[in-house]
């Protein structure tokens, strides 16, 4: 039988905009000592904007944007939304076929007659596109400046960079301070590059040694397992398709209400207001609720 206090706790959660899958979840929540946080869409708004384009020889900015915008248009990823929106603002999107995507990697599609690949370096490599040292230097300088940079290949050759930036949610720093005040260790886990990840971590108060960047979707779940193997009780907070395996593996999976359906289905808790402060509230709620049951 479920103690009445837990049912009251779930009801109280609903009032706070926290959807709890079942009463048992509150008990698991109480034991959490480490909170892994996805970056894009969790700590940041996930409303990226294209800030600059770096076309390679043979391409100009508008052709690069038109090709990658069309290729990204079927993708759900915030990076894809931003690039497609930027392209659409300049010209109607071109017809796209044969769309393919690798979560945490990138996309591939045929735009008109051209095969367009966009994503991280390893994804371009998988598609037979190599970067030169000069390309890598351009990439590094964009990343040092805080950009999330996407590499683009067209018909098997490198075609340029698309640089995007995101904004940190206004509430994130205070919410992370609250987690620390509750005795929890916040850890940043992201598929994005290390330079951006460290800049974001510094701004929200996550220690540099607790930043894990360039992590693949299976790497997120593996990170959860490694911490669990060391005896830590782990909550994972995320919103993307790429976060789902880690949300399922965590002792407590927390999805953003704005997140993808896959993330919400994999989670134990859903934060309807998309505010990280609600993560701390959930943990406080479980501590209080269970405190009153005994």
β-bridge mates for residue 96, sequence order: 111
- Determine which residue in the list 10, 29, 73, 75 makes contact with ligand ADP, applying CB under 6 A: 75
Q: How many residues bind Mg ion (CB under 5 A)?
A: 5
Q: How far apart are CA 168 and CA 41, in angstroms?
A: 9
240 scored as a contact of Mg ion (CB under 5 A): yes
Residues 103-132: x where in contact with ligand ADP by CB under 6 A, - otherwise, as a string: -xxxx----------xxx------------
135 scored as a contact of ligand ADP (CB under 6 A): no
Tokens at residue 35, please? 């909170």
Region near Mg ion per CB under 5 A, out of 62-70, 92-100, 206-214, 236-244: 236-244
User: Which is closer to ligand ADP, CB of 32 or CB of 223?
Assistant: 223
First to last CA, the chain: 15
| Inter-residue contact 151 to 131 (CB < 8 Å) | yes
State in angstroms the smallest separation of the CB of 211 from Mg ion: 15
Which residue of the chain is nearest ligand ADP when measured via CB?
191
Q: How far apart are CA 286 and CA 284, in angstroms?
A: 5
40 scored as a contact of Mg ion (CB under 5 A): yes
User: Which is closer to Mg ion, CB of 138 or CB of 192?
Assistant: 192
User: Which is closer to Mg ion, CB of 69 or CB of 238?
Assistant: 238
H-helix or E-strand spanning residue 238: strand 234-238
State in angstroms the smallest separation of the CB of 35 from ligand ADP: 15
Residues 194-223: x where in contact with ligand ADP by CB under 6 A, - otherwise, as a string: -----------------------x------
b/e burial code for range 3-12 (CB count within 10 A of at least 16 → b): bebbeebbeb
Helix-helix angle 194-204:133-144, to 10 degrees: 10
Who's near 149: CB < 8 A, 6+ residues apart? 139, 142, 143, 161, 162, 163, 164, 193
38 annotated active-site: yes
Q: How far apart are CA 273 and CA 286, in angstroms?
A: 18
Q: Which residues bind ligand ADP (CB under 6 A)?
A: 38-40, 72, 75, 77, 79-80, 104-107, 118-120, 148, 150, 190-192, 217, 240, 242
Q: Which residues are catalytic?
A: 38
């Amino acid at each position: 039988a479920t103690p009445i206090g837990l049912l009251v706790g779930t009801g109280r959660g609903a009032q706070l905009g926290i959807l709890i899958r079942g009463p048992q979840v509150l008990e698991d929540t109480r034991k959490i000592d480490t909170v892994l946080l996805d970056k894009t869409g969790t700590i940041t708004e996930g409303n990226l904007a294209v800030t600059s384009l770096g076309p390679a020889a043979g391409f100009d900015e508008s052709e690069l944007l038109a090709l990658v915008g069309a290729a990204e248009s079927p993708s759900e990823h915030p990076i894809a939304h931003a690039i497609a929106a930027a392209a659409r603002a300049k010209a109607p999107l071109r017809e796209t076929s044969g769309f393919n995507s690798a979560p945490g990697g990138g996309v591939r599609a045929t735009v008109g007659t051209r095969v367009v690949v966009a994503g991280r370096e390893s994804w371009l490599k998988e598609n037979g596109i190599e970067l030169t040292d000069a390309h890598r230097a351009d990439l590094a300088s964009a990343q040092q400046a805080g950009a999330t940079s996407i590499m683009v290949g067209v018909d098997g050759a490198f075609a340029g960079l698309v640089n995007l930036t995101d904004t940190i949610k206004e509430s994130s720093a205070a919410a992370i301070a609250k987690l620390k005040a509750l005795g929890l260790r916040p850890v940043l886990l992201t598929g994005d590059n290390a330079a951006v990840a460290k800049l974001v971590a510094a701004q929200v108060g996550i220690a540099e040694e607790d930043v894990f960047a360039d992590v693949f979707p299976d790497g997120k779940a593996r990170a959860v397992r490694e911490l669990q193997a060391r005896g830590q009780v782990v909550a994972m907070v995320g919103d993307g398709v790429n976060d789902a395996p880690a949300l399922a593996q965590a002792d407590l999976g927390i999805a953003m209400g704005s997140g993808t359906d896959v993330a919400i289905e994999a989670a134990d808790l859903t934060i309807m207001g998309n505010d990280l402060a609600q993560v701390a509230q959930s943990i406080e709620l479980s501590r209080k609720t269970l405190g009153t049951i005994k």
